[in-house]
Amino acid sequence: MVVLYLHADKPSLDLWERRIFITLTILFSSLVSLSVGSLLVVLGAALRWPLLASRGHTPREVNLILSMANPSGSLRLLGYYSGGWDRGRLRFRKWKATTWVVLLYLVVNIIGRLSIAIFGLSYGMNESVVYPAMVNDFGNKGFMQESYMLRDLAQAARFSITGVVNVPTPFNRSDPSTYNMNDIGGLGLKRSVNSETGAVTYTYPLREYRGPEEYPSSDRIMHNGNSTLPQDSPTFMYILDALDGDAASQYATGPDSLTTHYTWAMDWDESKIGDPAACATTLVNWRGNGTISFFYECTTCLTSNSGIPGLDTSILSNFNSSRLPYAAGILPRISPFDYFYDYSGPSGEFVARVYSSSSERIHQPQLFELPDTPYYFYLEPKFHTKPVPLNFEIEIAHLVARLPILAIIGAERELPRKTRDPNATSADAYIVTNLEVKWPRAFGILAGLVAGQVLVIGVAAVATRNVPIRDHDSLLSVARLLRTAMEKIEGRSMASGEELAECIERELRLGEGMRYGTEIVDEGTRRVDLWEGMGENFERDKKYV
C-alpha cells in the first residue's frame, strides 16, 4: 500500500520510476507471500497434533503427517492415501477424515501464498499518447507584424470577415431570449447583455489544441464590450457631409447616390492607437428615404481575463509584448476601416465603410439588417426627435462588439500553430505512463486478506483447543516424542525412513497403530507419548513429565 501511495499521485512515471515501482512491488509482494506462507506452515504444524491424536496411525502415516506443514509434505501424504503402485499393480485406498483435512489445508496453503497476487487487480499502469498543448502563433508575420499600419488594418479586417462568414452569431432584437448566449458556434463564445444599459459584451476563450482535438483555453480569455448611445454628434455630421461630397476637401468624395445606405465611420486620430484604455468610438448611421435616419455612437473596449484594459501578454501567444497596445488599438478600429477621407473635422481625417446599393462600390459582407420599425431622428432641428428603443441599441452594440472577437477567431483559422510551452523541444506526441490505483478495491483486498488470515488462525485455534501443541519448528521436540518408537529398534543408523517404519510397525502389538496421547504415570502425573495404547484425553489439571 505504501508503494502504491508513493507512486499514485505522479502524473507521469519515467523509465527509472517504473523500474523502481515494479521492483518494489515484486519485492514486497514476495515478502508478504513469504510471511503468509510462514504463518500457514505454523498453522499446519499445529494441526499435526489433533490429527495424530484423533486415531491410530501406521509409522509411515505418522511420518507423513509430521511433514504435512509444507505443501510438498501434504502432497506426499495425499498421494499415499490415494494409493499407488504396490506389488505389480495399481492400488487405490479409501480416503479418511485425515485425508480431507490435509487436502483442505493444502488448498488453503496454496491459495494463501498466491493471494497476494490479487493486489494486482487494484492498480494498473496506464499508457496514453499525449500531444503537447498547441496554440496559434500570433507572432507570425501573418498577424499585425507589418511595419505599415494600413496593412495591419486590412489584414485584421480580412480576419474579421473570415470570422463573420464562419461563425454565425444569431440575434433577434425582438426576442430577448436570444440576447444572452453561451458556446456560440461550439467555440465557447459567449454573449452577455445588460438589459438596463444595453451594453453588450462578447467573451471568447482562445483555442488550444492537442493532436486532432481543440478546446477552449482556461486562462487565455478575451472580452470585448460595447456601449451604444442613439445620438448624432457634430463630428458625425461633418463626416456625413463629407461623404455626401459637401465638404471643402479635395479628398471628400463619396458615392453619387446615398439615398439608402449604412455608414460606419470614425474620426481617425492615429495618436490614440496604443492608448492603454484600449477603447475606440465608432459612429453608425442608417439613412432611409428622405430625412429619416438612425444615429449611434458606439464605444468598444477590449479587456483581458484579468479585467485589465487591453490585451494581457498571455492572450496572443508569441506576440511581441511591446506591440500589444498597438494590437489592442487596431482591433476595435477595423469595423469602419474601408476608405480614408480628408475633411474639415477635428482630426482632419476619418475612415468610413459604406453599405450602398451602388454597383460601383466594393461590397463587404452585410453586417446589418434594415430596421423595419419607424423609429428615427429627423435631421431638421424643428422636427421632434422620437426615442430609439433599447432593443435597437442592443442590436447595434451586438454587431459592433463582435467584430474584434471574430477577427481573432478568423486569425486562428489561418495562423500556424506552435507549442504553448516555450521550452518544449518537439511538437510530436509522446507516451505517458501513470499509475492508476483503485483505492476502494485496494483497501477491500487488504481487509479480505487480513480477515482470511484471522479466520485461518481461528479455525486452527478451535481445532487444537483440546490438544496440547508441541514446538512447531523444533526437530528436538519431535525426536523426544518419538523416543519410545526409536527404543524399540536397535542399530539401523543408516536405514531409510521406509525401513524404519517397517521395523516400528513390527513392534506394534495392539493393532491400533501409533497415536499421540497421554500415559498415566501416577494419580496426578501424566506423560505425553506417540505410541500405541495412549489415552485420548489431555487433562489440564495434571502434571506432565
pLDDT in tens, 42-85: 888 888 888 888 888 888 888 888 888 888 888 888 888 887 66
Structural domain boundaries in the chain: 2-127+434-544, 135-419
Using CA atoms, how far apart are residues 37 and 471, in angstroms rounded to an integer?
Answer: 18
Q: Determine contact, residues 341/250, Cβ cutoff 8 Å.
A: no
Q: CA 89 → CA 96, 289, 486, 502, distances in Å?
A: 22, 123, 32, 21
Q: 360: which 3 cell numbers? A: 460601383
DSSP 278-312: -EEEEEEEEE-STTEEEEEEEEEEEEETTS-BS--
Query: C-alpha cell of 357?
Result: 446599393
Q: Quick: pLDDT tens for 85-138.
A: 666 666 677 788 888 888 988 898 888 888 888 877 777 777 778 888 889 999
Predicted pLDDT of residue 84: 66
Question: What is the DSSP track for 317-383?
Answer: TT--GGGHHHHHHHGGGSSS-SEEEE-SSSSSEEEEEEEES-TTS-PPPP------S---EESSTTS
Residue 139 has pLDDT above 90, yes or no: no
pLDDT of residue 248: 36
Instruction: Please tell me the pTM assigned to this model.
Output: 0.60
Q: Among the listed ranges 349-353, 362-366, 408-412, 468-472, which one has the minimum average pLDDT value?
A: 362-366
Instruction: Name the residue with cell 442590436.
Output: 395
Mean of all residue pLDDT scores within the chain: 79
The span from the CA of 25 to the CA of 3, in Å, is: 7
Q: Helical H runs in 55-202? A: 59-66, 71-82, 97-114, 149-166
pLDDT at 255: 41
Q: Are strands 181-184 and 134-136 parallel, antiparallel or unpaired?
A: unpaired
Q: What is the pLDDT of residue 381?
A: 39
Query: For residue 35, what pLDDT is reported?
Result: 83
